[in-house]
Amino acid sequence: MRSILFFYLRYRNTTDLSSIEQESQNLQKKYGERIAEVKGPVVVSGETIPLSSMEDLVKIADELGKPIFHQLAVMPEAGQLYYVLDGTTRYQYSIGGKE
């Protein structure tokens, strides 16, 4: 009985999350020390380079010596953005939403 209660308490919040929120939570667990949270929308007047994985973004951040920024979705259907800024270029990995 005790183990059932433990699993319920541990995983109860994750079952109510959308797939976007779950992936974001997993990325936070894995890369949390490297991610800086952004308070509002950031406009970059340059090129945006979409990436296919967070691992690719981490490689670029390492190579450039730059932090990874996380921008929460303004609207739930918009998804979430993870990006690295290098001058006017934004290297971006997004989960959910549209590119």
Sorted by where each begins, the domain ranges of the chain are: 2-95
pLDDT, tens digit (0-9, with 9 covering 90-100), for 56-89: 999 999 999 999 999 876 665 667 889 999 999 9
Q: Are 74 and 58 in contact (CB under 8 A)?
A: no
Of 70, 84, 8, the closest CA to residue 35 belongs to 70
pLDDT class of 90 with cuts at 50, 70, 90 = very high
- Rounded CA-CA distance 71/16 in Å is 21
